[in-house]
Amino acid sequence: TTTFSIMVNLISAEEVAKHNNRKDCWVIIHENVYDLTNFLPEHPGGVNVILKQAGKDATAAFDPVHPRDIIQQYLPPEMCLGRVDPTSLTKAAEADSEKDRRRQVMEKRPNLDEMLNLFDFEAVASQTLTKEAWAYFSSGADDEVTLRENHEAFRRIWLKPRVLIDVAKIDVSTTILGHYSSFPLYITATALGKLGHPEGEVVLTRAAYTHKIIQMIPTLASCSLDEMINARGEGQVQFYQLYVNPDRSITERVVRAAEAKGCKALFITVDAPQLGRREKDMREKYVEAPPDLQEEGDIRRDQGAARAINGFIDPRLKWADLKWFRSITSMPLVLKGIQTVEDAVIAAKFGVEGIVLSNHGGRQLDFARSAIEILPEVVEALKREGLYDKIEIYVDGGIRRGTDIFKAIALGAKAVGIGRPMLYAMSAYGQPGVERALQLLKDELEVAMSLSGVTSISECGPQYLDIRNLYNHSYVPTDYLTKSVYDKPKPRKNKL
Ligand code: 173
């Protein structure tokens, strides 16, 4: 009616469909019409995922990977052109064969109690996830050498079990930055959780609560900060992972919000001034140039889900900026993504409360060394500088077994972070899956400790390990479990 159209601009779906290219890109999200032409280069998920939706109703693609409030938070209001005329909308047909396939594997997946280790969850998830989700979650940078090295490095450390020790009682509990943790592991930040499970990261929040372990909330999650905070159980501790925005007023706002809402530490990601090249993901996101633009040669064909994140992560972040974080928060500061002794020492001298030795799950710089390999050097250097007692060290990347946790703790880490395996367990089996995966890890750790003759976390030390082979990169035992889920190259989807 006329009165309605005075208040909001009603736009037909046919009109939207005309704006279907890089130079003129409209999409419909929750019945609102947006002109995203100028936003394209800034989209953290890359240009291509939006271009695939240009001129269309993008709601179904948008919802699984974005928190509800992200548009209000980041898009200037003038990008919203009006409402789509609902009568002009036709529901897009889903890609049925793929849906059917996934429904079938989901129905036939093994019972949860048949899952005996974390690789089992990965194997199931590799089948049940959508192709995009598997590509995004599982991918690593370039040849994925670091991705695989992260777990393989643990396989170069052997154990020296002591016997005839009373191990009737094993206590695997510890503290992280002073907060209780039922065993030395936290769930680290990962993005796009709703690609794997309709409820997203809150599933991890709930499972962490069940196990009394700490969850690190991601800056760029598919649930909103409030959803993840509100999913918290009584007394549950959450940390906050920060991507530093080029607009520091945005960063200040999110840091203050995280602190006000009770997050207990700030983990500043320092290994991602830009996101690495993840080729599986880039292949999945690949789109043909629309015919009208092909000659111009201005289509970036090399952008995966994650490459165009520049609008959201500040590549200018530097050591001198750390002081500023102290001025905007009283949360303990932890640098996530330290990869050398040199940087570990600088961080400790600056006085941060913690560092995460991490190469971002092998997703950033291929041939970065594994965190577990760097750990002994870092511990030695910090001890030499008299700084080891002033800082907590965490490692992430490649944790798949209780013995991996044992090895990290024995080498001087306070705790380990775990990412992908939680996403896989969540995707395949929901909250009970994550809870079981955590239980398996905890059980494995207890077995590793009792069979090593160690009854508490504080007793774990390097005397229980043989690390002579840790630095030897030429001998790597074949990892059949990981290999069996590793992606085979796929034929090209689109023919020119
Ligand atoms: O590793 C990642 O994929 C990552 O850190 C990220 C976070 C937010 C959006 C895209 C990627």
| Residue 190 alpha carbon to ligand 1 centre in Å | 7
Q: Which of 268, 309, 358 to mutate to test the pocket of ligand 1 (most atoms within 8 A of CB)?
A: 309
Kindly list the protein residues whose Cβ atom lies closer than 6 A to any atom of ligand 1: 44, 191, 220, 272, 275, 306, 309, 360, 363
195 CA distance to ligand 1 middle (Å): 13
Residue with CA nearest ligand 1 atom 4: 191
Distance (Å) of CA 376 to CA 85, 234, 382: 62, 37, 10
Q: Which amino acid is at 401?
A: R
Bridge partners, residue 416, by sequence:
185, 395
**Active site residue: 360, 394, 404, 464, which one?**
360
In whole angstroms, what is the distance from residue 223 CA to residue 238 CA?
A: 15
Tell me which residues of the chain have a pLDDT lower than 70: 1-7, 91-95, 286-310, 475-482, 486-496
Extract the tokens encoding 239.
């940390």
- What are 473-486's pLDDT values in tens digits? 875 556 666 677 76
Q: What separation in Å is there between the alpha carbon of 276 and the centre of ligand 1? A: 9
Confidence (pLDDT) at 75:
84
Catalytic member of 120, 271, 366, 396: 271
pLDDT number for residue 461:
98
